[in-house]
């Protein structure tokens, strides 16, 4: 199979995924549907036409070597980057090119590859900010933040396992804990879609599996669609419902973990050695 | 007519030469060290004064004259290198605004040193030997010395180009301008590089100062701040760190001033800053500048967690309030007026702190809103006889409108560019007050703005001032702890995260800008009634810097910082004014000491001390204790 034919096949597979998802869903539209997304930086075609869909309660992993265009794709879905082509739909609504804060309001929570938290606030206050935004109370000039939605914030912190850190400043937290704060912040809005860019980077191996297991459980319980990138193949193959493999801005394979694991081009392009991961 | 245009054009070119030298030095220093060096203007001034002395001492021939010019420049260069070695070197790790504060301390010291050495009168230099004559084009007389100055700009530009492109040192300077960390990682001796850069930059400033004298422009004690604001404008317009940019911008400003005086004689001062504002809005990094790596919010440093005031601090606050209620009837009239003034400046500092601390927007021009509040009151009272209550309501409204207009542009920038744009707008407001004589009375100000009725007495007016100032300050404090203040801080800490949870960062910053302007307007309005008059000095850059010093001395990270800072700064200034003629030097030295000893500010240092002390007192202090331990880590 030539490279072009392979890419075309993968694109068909990805689109098929989108169609299948749309067909299989009672409401018609999947939570997230991405069609032919493109982004150029100068002469570099960072993302050259990618399509996929994620349904409620489903975890889709976006994987690929460095520079494959994963984070660019993420930032186009989350609104941090404006796509040069293609469409992003959230539950059927076109959100292409909307600013991040509008996308958040429509029910998209996200975590960043390099954690972004408010360093001058405590862990609890970080979550309270998301809750205040959720309740539309950010313009308040009078009642102090301290007691507002504190119990709700603590419940979210308990859920991600860092309630004991609630009083600490985010500026001094361990990196793995910051990832948890980000997850709690993203969850505060009861999102329909969760975008997680390398959610477990910087965590100890056991923590990683635990965090993704937690994410998967929450997603399935609450019917949240999850799109995530990850370098840890253990995490990916253990928790993703489906996997989309990117290379140089293009999709090269898509499907359930088993299909992807055995895909010849994935082995060649991405994994190189033919081994997918140590543990499987 | 043609002759007039020609003369004005050449005049503009001649003044551009000096401005270019000063601005190029400033730009090089900023590019490499990232220090916004207010003291650069002082070195320009010293260059001029030293030249005056040397002209008198050295023989009055070609060699003596040009030797004096060059020696003055070298002397300024050496003084600049000394400044770097003695003061700034200790502050490279400190937040940028502390470096700025230190350089302003140096400005004050140098002003008094010059006063002590050369006296208060303006000093003229000699004409240049061999260049005393002039050439005539038609009726137009063009001094030979001006022709010489035309050449200076391009020659210095060419020499600098050779220096930066043909020497190893120049390559390092260019590399450091682009990426300081990378140059450090390559094992370059940064200390040596910084000291030499300061030498070169200051030498150019000194040369600029010395070369101005033979045009018939005297050395004066206020030429330092005059030139530094213009040089900032040139550097910003040209692009920070770009020498050709400075050249281009100096030409632009020189011509603009020269022709502006023909076309718009009333707003020549405004023109420079209008151009600067326009350039910043259209090309935020200047004509030839390039975007620098993430422009961090100025002066924030390590973000400290803001926690509610501990009970002890609340008790202290209540005790002070009680004292302020009881004490005034027992005070003399001098103390009453000082106390009122301090209260006004507490409010002014608190309003600036809202922008700088939680907002992360350092303003170099906050006095504009103070002054506009004052002028708003004065104009309404003298033109329309508006009663006092109306005046006090109008002050924040006027300031808020200006804040809304200026702020709309400012929040589109960040870091030092934002600071420079606030400076530009403040200079525009100041020039308006200074030059629009029909409306504002210009330098003579507006008199007869007195409080009325039962508030006319000093004591009732003091109570009014205290109530309004403290009341509004407490309101601002409340805002910082409310969701809006948190949203503002969120935008400062991480705009990326803030936007991703639905916070419109610019919108929040803009509203904070307006709020801070309104509060400063209240302070200005009270001040106008307290003094009974308003003057353009209310909006001068030195008043903006006063505000910066109050906030930074107190500690930008603590909510109580501006209050402490305003009381200490204003109190110190007041005492020094009474005790010595050289109060500026003492104040400057005090600022240097404070900056070197307490880079966290006074309230910041007190907070750290309080938390360290609390570490041994058991579980009750656990929360803050941990906060402190974290910060120490």
Token pair belonging to A9 = 């096949």
Q: What percent of chain B has pLDDT over 90?
A: 48
Q: Which residue has the higher pLDDT, B298 or B19?
A: B19
Please indicate whether, in this complex, the C-beta atoms of A118 and B494 are within 8 angstroms of each other.
yes
Query: DSSP per residue over B293-357, as a string?
Result: S--PPTT--SPPPP-PPPHHHHHHHHHHHHHHHHSGGGS-HHHHHHHHHHHHHHHHHHHHHHHHT
Token pair belonging to B294 = 């993430």
What is the least distance, in Å, from the CA of A5 to any CA of chain B?
Answer: 38
Query: DSSP per residue over B103-148, as a string?
Result: HHHHHHHHHHHHHHHH-SS-BPPPPPTT---EEEETTEEEEHHHHH
Token pair belonging to B422 = 């606030």
B222-234 per-position pLDDT tens digit: 899 889 888 988 9
| Chain A residue with Cα closest to B360 | A120
Please indicate whether, in this complex, the C-beta atoms of B497 and A188 are within 8 angstroms of each other.
no
Contact list, B308 vs chain A (CB under 8 Å): 144, 146
Statement: residue B464 has pLDDT above 70: yes
Contact list, B484 vs chain A (CB under 8 Å): 138-141
Q: Backbone phi, then psi, for B219, in 5-degree steps? A: -85, 125
Statement: residue B169 has pLDDT above 70: yes
Residues counted in chain A: 280
- Count other Cβ atoms within 10 Å, centred on residue B11: 20
The residue of B502, B625, B632, B633 whose CB has the most chain A CBs within 10 angstroms, and thus the best one to mutate to test that interface, is: B502
Q: What is the ipTM of this complex?
A: 0.86
Query: Would you state the pLDDT for residue B72?
Result: 97
Span B39-58, average pLDDT: 95
Q: Backbone phi, then psi, for A96, in 5-degree steps? A: -55, 125
Distance of CA B486 to the CA centre of its chain: 27
| Chain A residue with Cα closest to B622 | A167
Please indicate whether, in this complex, the C-beta atoms of A119 and B494 are within 8 angstroms of each other.
yes
What is the least distance, in Å, from the CA of A58 to any CA of chain B?
Answer: 22
Please indicate whether, in this complex, the C-beta atoms of B623 and A116 are within 8 angstroms of each other.
no
Among B304, B494, B501, the residue with its CB nearest the CB of A130 is B501
The residue of A80, A81, A100, A128 whose CB has the most chain B CBs within 10 angstroms, and thus the best one to mutate to test that interface, is: A100
Q: What is the mean pLDDT of chain B?
A: 87
Token pair belonging to B587 = 């104040």
The answer for A 209-228 residues in CB contact with B (under 8 A) is none
Radius of gyration for chain A, computed over Cα atoms and rounded to the nearest angstrom:
19
Q: Which architecture, in CATH terms, is B315-616?
A: Orthogonal Bundle (1.10)
Please indicate whether, in this complex, the C-beta atoms of B497 and A185 are within 8 angstroms of each other.
yes
Span B360-387, average pLDDT: 93
What is the least distance, in Å, from the CA of B527 to any CA of chain A?
Answer: 26
CB of A86 closer than 8 Å to CB of A112: no
> Residue A206 belongs to what H/E stretch?
helix A205-222
B308-318 per-position pLDDT tens digit: 888 888 899 99
In this complex, how many residue pairs, one in chain A and one in chain B, have their CB atoms less than 8 Å apart? 125
Contact list, B486 vs chain A (CB under 8 Å): 121, 125, 128-129, 132, 145
| Chain B residue with Cα closest to A187 | B501
Query: Would you state the pLDDT for residue A104?
Result: 94
Contact list, A143 vs chain B (CB under 8 Å): 482-483
What is the least distance, in Å, from the CA of B347 to any CA of chain A?
Answer: 18
Query: Would you state the pLDDT for residue B625?
Result: 34
Cα angle B25, B27, B29; round to 5: 70
Contact list, A145 vs chain B (CB under 8 Å): 481-483, 485-486
Compute the Cα dihedral for A119, A122, A125, A130 and give only its sign: positive
CB of B131 closer than 8 Å to CB of B124: no
What is the least distance, in Å, from the CA of B411 to any CA of chain A?
Answer: 17
What chain A holds in terms of domains, given with CATH numbers, is: 56-81+96-117+173-271 (3.40.50.300)
Please indicate whether, in this complex, the C-beta atoms of B303 and A171 are within 8 angstroms of each other.
yes
The answer for A 97-116 residues in CB contact with B (under 8 A) is 99-101, 104-105, 110, 112, 116
Statement: residue B172 has pLDDT above 70: yes
Please indicate whether, in this complex, the C-beta atoms of A101 and B302 are within 8 angstroms of each other.
no
Q: How far is the C-alpha of B552 from the C-alpha of B300, rounded, in Å?
A: 10
Rounded alpha-carbon distances, angstroms, from residue B615 to A249, B609, B627: 54, 10, 10
Q: Which residue has the higher pLDDT, B631 or B564?
A: B564
Span B538-563, average pLDDT: 86
Contact list, A121 vs chain B (CB under 8 Å): 305-306, 486, 489-490, 493
| Chain A residue with Cα closest to B504 | A101
Contact list, B489 vs chain A (CB under 8 Å): 118, 120-121
Query: Would you state the pLDDT for residue B49?
Result: 97
Q: Which residue has the higher pLDDT, B525 or B608?
A: B525
Please indicate whether, in this complex, the C-beta atoms of B484 and A116 are within 8 angstroms of each other.
no
Q: Which residues have a Cβ under 8 Å from the Cβ of B89 and sit 6 or more positions away?
A: B191, B194, B195
Statement: residue B622 has pLDDT above 70: no
What is the mean pLDDT of each successive set of 10 residues along chain A, which is 280 residues long? 48 46 53 93 87 94 88 91 94 93 93 90 96 93 92 94 92 87 93 91 83 87 92 87 90 88 78 44
The residue of B359, B483, B622 whose CB has the most chain A CBs within 10 angstroms, and thus the best one to mutate to test that interface, is: B483
Contact list, B476 vs chain A (CB under 8 Å): none
Q: How far is the C-alpha of B196 from the C-alpha of B373, rounded, in Å?
A: 45
What is the least distance, in Å, from the CA of B633 to any CA of chain A?
Answer: 8
A64 and chain B: CB distance < 8 Å anywhere? no
CATH 1.10.3470 maps onto chain B at: 315-616
A188 and chain B: CB distance < 8 Å anywhere? yes
A147 and chain B: CB distance < 8 Å anywhere? no
Among B486, B494, B630, the residue with its CB nearest the CB of A169 is B630
| Chain B residue with Cα closest to A189 | B501
Candidate from A115-124, A262-271, B298-307, B560-569 with smallest mean pLDDT:
B298-307
Contact list, A99 vs chain B (CB under 8 Å): 499
The residue of A82, A113, A120, A164 whose CB has the most chain B CBs within 10 angstroms, and thus the best one to mutate to test that interface, is: A120
Span B509-517, average pLDDT: 97
Q: Which residue has the higher pLDDT, B291 or A159?
A: A159
pTM for the whole structure: 0.84
Candidate from A140-154, B51-65, B447-461 with smallest mean pLDDT:
B447-461
Among A118, A142, A168, the residue with its CB nearest the CB of B482 is A142
Residues counted in chain B: 633
Contact list, A171 vs chain B (CB under 8 Å): 302-305, 630
Please indicate whether, in this complex, the C-beta atoms of A118 and B308 are within 8 angstroms of each other.
no
């Amino acid at each position: 199979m030539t490279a072009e034919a392979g890419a075309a096949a993968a694109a068909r597979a990805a689109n098929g995924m989108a169609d299948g998802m749309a067909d299989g869903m009672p409401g018609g539209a999947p939570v997230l549907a991405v069609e032919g997304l493109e982004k150029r930086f100068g002469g570099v075609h960072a993302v050259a036409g990618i399509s996929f869909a994620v349904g409620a309660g489903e975890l889709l992993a976006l994987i690929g070597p460095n520079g494959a265009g994963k984070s660019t794709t993420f930032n186009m879905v989350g609104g941090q980057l404006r796509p040069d082509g293609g469409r992003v739909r959230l539950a059927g609504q076109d959100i292409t090119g909307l600013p991040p804060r509008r996308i958040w309001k429509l029910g998209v929570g996200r975590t960043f590859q390099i954690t972004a938290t408010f360093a001058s606030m405590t862990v609890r206050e970080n979550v309270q900010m998301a809750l205040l935004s959720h309740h539309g109370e950010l313009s308040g000039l009078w009642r102090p933040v301290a007691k507002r939605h504190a119990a709700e914030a603590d419940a979210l912190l308990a859920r991600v396992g860092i309630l004991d850190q609630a009083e600490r400043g985010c500026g001094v937290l361990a990196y793995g804990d910051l990832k948890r704060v980000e997850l709690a912040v993203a969850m505060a809005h009861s999102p329909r879609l969760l975008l997680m860019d390398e959610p477990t980077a910087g965590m100890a191996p056991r923590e990683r599996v635990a965090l993704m297991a937690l994410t998967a459980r929450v997603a399935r319980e609450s019917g949240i669609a999850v799109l995530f990138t990850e370098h840890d193949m253990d995490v990916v193959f253990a928790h993703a419902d489906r996997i989309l493999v990117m290379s140089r801005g293009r999709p090269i394979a898509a499907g359930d973990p088993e299909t992807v694991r055995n895909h010849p081009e994935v082995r060649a392009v991405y994994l190189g050695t033919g081994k997918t991961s140590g543990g499987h | 007519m043609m002759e007039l245009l020609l003369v004005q054009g050449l005049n503009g070119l001649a003044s551009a030469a000096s401005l270019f030298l000063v601005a190029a030095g400033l730009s090089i220093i900023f590019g490499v060290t990232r220090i916004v060096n207010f003291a650069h203007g002082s070195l320009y001034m010293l260059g001029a004064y030293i030249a005056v002395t040397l002209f008198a001492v050295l023989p009055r021939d070609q060699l003596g004259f040009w030797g004096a010019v060059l020696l003055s420049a070298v002397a300024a260069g050496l003084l600049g290198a000394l400044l770097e070695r003695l003061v700034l070197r200790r502050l490279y790790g400190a937040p940028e605004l502390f470096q700025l504060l230190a350089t302003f301390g140096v400005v004050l010291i140098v002003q008094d040193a010059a006063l002590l050495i050369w006296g208060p009168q303006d000093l003229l230099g000699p004409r240049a030997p061999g260049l005393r004559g002039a050439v005539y084009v038609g009726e137009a007389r063009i001094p030979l010395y001006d022709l010489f100055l035309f050449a200076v700009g391009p020659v210095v530009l060419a020499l600098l180009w050779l220096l930066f492109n043909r020497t190893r040192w120049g390559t390092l300077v260019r590399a450091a301008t682009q990426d300081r960390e990378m140059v450090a990682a390559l094992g370059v001796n940064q200390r040596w590089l910084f000291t030499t850069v300061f030498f070169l930059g200051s030498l150019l400033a000194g040369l600029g100062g010395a070369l101005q004298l033979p045009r018939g422009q005297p050395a004066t004690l206020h030429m330092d701040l005059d030139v530094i604001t213009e040089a900032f404008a040139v550097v910003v317009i040209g692009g920070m760190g770009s020498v050709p940019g400075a050249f281009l911008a100096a030409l632009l400003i020189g011509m603009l001033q020269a022709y502006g005086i023909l076309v718009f004689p009333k707003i020549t001062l405004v023109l420079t800053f209008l151009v600067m504002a326009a350039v910043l809005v259209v090309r935020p990094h200047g004509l030839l500048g390039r975007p620098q790596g993430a422009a961090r919010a100025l002066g924030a440093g390590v973000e400290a967690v803001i926690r509610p005031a501990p009970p002890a601090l609340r008790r202290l606050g209540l005790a002070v309030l009680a004292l302020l209620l009881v004490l005034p009837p027992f005070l003399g009239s001098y103390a009453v007026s000082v106390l009122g003034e301090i209260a006004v400046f507490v409010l002014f500092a608190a309003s600036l702190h809202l922008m700088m601390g939680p907002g992360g927007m350092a303003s170099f021009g906050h006095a504009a809103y103070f002054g506009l509040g004052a002028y708003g009151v004065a104009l309404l009272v003298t033109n329309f006889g508006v009663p006092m209550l109306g005046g006090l309501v109008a002050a924040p409204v006027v300031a808020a409108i200006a804040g809304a207009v200026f702020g709309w542009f400012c929040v589109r920038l960040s870091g030092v560019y934002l600071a420079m744009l606030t400076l530009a707008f403040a200079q525009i407001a100041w020039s308006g007050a200074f030059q629009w004589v029909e409306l504002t009375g210009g330098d003579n100000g507006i008199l007869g703005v007195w409080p009325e009725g039962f508030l006319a007495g000093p004591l009732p007016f003091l109570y009014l001032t205290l109530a309004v100032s403290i009341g509004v300050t407490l309101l601002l404090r409340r805002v910082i702890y409310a969701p809006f203040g948190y949203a503002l801080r969120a935008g400062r800490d991480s705009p990326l995260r803030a936007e991703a949870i639905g916070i419109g960062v610019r919108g929040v910053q803009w509203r904070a800008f307006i709020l801070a302007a309104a509060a400063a307007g209240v302070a200005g309005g009270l001040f106008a009634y307290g003094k009974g008059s308003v003057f353009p000095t209310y909006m001068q850059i030195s008043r903006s810097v006063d505000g910066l010093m109050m906030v930074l001395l107190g500690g930008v990270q603590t909510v109580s910082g501006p209050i402490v800072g305003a009381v200490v700064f204003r109190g110190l200034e007041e005492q020094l004014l009474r005790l010595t003629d050289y109060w500026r030097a003492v104040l400057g030295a005090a600022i240097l000491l404070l900056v070197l000893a307490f880079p966290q500010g006074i309230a910041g240092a007190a907070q750290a001390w309080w938390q360290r002390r609390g570490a041994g007192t058991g579980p009750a202090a656990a929360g803050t204790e941990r906060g402190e331990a974290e910060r120490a880590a």
